[in-house]
Amino acid sequence: MSSVQNKSSLGDLGSSSLNARFELVYNQNESRYDGADLAKKLFSFKNTDQDTFRTTGLTGVPLLERFDEGDPIPKGVNTKTFETLYAVNDYGKGIDVTDDCQKDKQKLGAKLDEMANLARSTDIHQYKAAFQILNGGFVTTATVNGIALNRYNNEALFSASHARADGGTAQSNVSAAAISLTELNIETGRLALIKQLTDNGQPIVDMGAINLVVPDDLIKNAVIFTQSQYRATTANNDLNFYQTTTGKINVMSSRWLNANVGGSSTAWFLLATVPGVDSPLCVYRKGGPEFYAAPRDPNTWTQTFSVKNRMAIGNSEFKGTWASQGTGA
């Protein structure tokens, strides 16, 4: 198909003769796309005025120690954590529209408003971009599904050997065996998540709500395992721990995690919502989208409509996240 929007690409939609009943057909341009509500629960969307910048944190002062009368009070250090170097990248799209097409489509009004469509595409794209942090979490490649990713300490988001800023024992937030999604394996992942330590070896006292995030292939089992009144696959009607206040797990699925759009049909993720703390999985936006309608080409009278959006995407921490590729037992 031509990359220029013309009367041929629209068929009879813009024709003044016998044409399709546009308002009655399935309109993909106006169908609801997965994105905003779910993405805002899992990721931080922030603004920046810089092209490149770094994020970091502090461990906090170590806890008090007992000492004997007359001895020096024990000393400690508030250690800086590792950094994420973010670089803003340009993302954009343009539409070329012939003069005849513009004249003959006027009766369709807003349905073929190029700027409105580009704005919608931009909005959808930023939510797609956020989910690539998870899709690309097991690798360190620079670009995943067209999205440039920036990583904490230049490590994969999900790694078996995350260094500790105080030099302590490295930590894992990934299943080395790539365990599949089962009730027992959810508990394995949950325990690994809530037992993570800060960079000075202290427990993270309040992980807050835990979200089980999956592709559509796993949503049915995810709901059965966590939201049934009693334990799934047991005959003795044991209480389902995940239906208690202590074990509560929220289940979420996203189309952007599916294998047919560059995700996986088996990977599953546990993401904590730490109270009072923004998600470390971040989309930084610089300046907001810019739209441009170029003058008509003097030779063809074709007009170009385009948008540019500047973003930096990545993770500023790994703590509070855990994942499995789901390909093992």
Mean pLDDT confidence for 264-288: 95
pLDDT in tens, 252-263: 999 999 999 999
pLDDT band of 21, cuts 50, 70, 90: low
Sign of CA dihedral 38, 43, 46, 48: negative
pLDDT of residue 24: 46
pLDDT at 103 over 90: no
Task: Answer whether residue 167 is part of any domain.
Answer: yes
3-state secondary structure 115-182: HHHHHHHHHHHHHHHHHHHHHCCCCCCCEECCEEEECHHHCCCCCCCECCCCCCCCECCECCCCCCCC
Q: What is the mean pLDDT of the chain?
A: 90
Hey, is 87 helix, strand or coil?
strand
Q: Which domain holds residue 196?
A: 37-62+79-206+278-324
Task: Tell me the pLDDT band of 233, cut-offs 50, 70 and 90.
Answer: confident
In a domain, 128, yes or no: yes
Give CA–CA dist 196/171, Å, rounded: 7
How much is the pTM? 0.91
- Write the pLDDT tens digit of every residue in 147-186: 999 999 999 999 999 999 999 999 999 999 999 999 999 9
Nearest-angstrom CA–CA distance, 269 and 195: 16
Number of domains present in the structure of the chain: 1
| 239 located within any domain | no
Domain membership flag for residue 235: no
Question: Average pLDDT, stretch 20-36?
Answer: 56
Instruction: Indicate whether 29 belongs to any domain.
Output: no
In a domain, 166, yes or no: yes
Joined tokens for residue 16: 């003044």
Q: Do the Cβ atoms of 56 and 80 come closer than 8 Å?
A: yes
Residue 138, in any domain of the structure: yes
Q: Residue 231: what pLDDT?
A: 85
Q: Mention every residue, 6+ apart, whose C-beta is less than 8 A from residue 77.
A: 61, 62
Give the dihedral of Cα atoms 104, 109, 111, 115; nearest 10 deg: 100
Provide the pairing of β-strand 84-87 with 52-55: antiparallel
Neighbours of 307 (CB within 10 A): 21
Q: Is the pLDDT of residue 94 over 70?
A: yes
The residue that leads in pLDDT, 30 or 244, is: 244
pLDDT tens column, 62-84: 999 999 999 999 999 899 999 99
**Number of C-alpha atoms within 13 angstroms, CB side, residue 194?**
16
Return the biggest CA–CA distance within the chain. 98
Does any domain span residue 227? no
Taking a C-beta distance cutoff of 8 angstroms, is the pair 222, 253 a contact?
A: yes
- Average pLDDT (232-253) is 87
Q: What is the pLDDT of residue 180?
A: 98
Query: Phi and psi dihedrals of 55, rounded to 5?
Result: -120, 150
β strands within the chain, DSSP E: 4-5, 44-47, 52-55, 84-87, 89-97, 143-144, 147-150, 209-214, 249-253, 268-273, 281-293, 303-315, 321-324
Centre a 10 Å sphere on the Cβ of residue 206 and count the other Cβ atoms it contains.
11
What pLDDT, on a 0 to 100 scale, did the predictor assign at position 29?
Answer: 58
What's the confidence (pLDDT) of residue 16?
54
Per-residue pLDDT for 17 more than 60?
A: no
pLDDT the model gives residue 282: 98
Query: Among 39, 89, 80, which residue's Cα sits nearest to residue 282?
Result: 39
Q: Which two tokens stand for residue 107?
A: 């009766």
Q: What tokens appear for 293 in the block?
A: 């309608």
**Residue 234's pLDDT band (cuts 50, 70, 90):** confident
For position 214, what pLDDT does the model report?
98
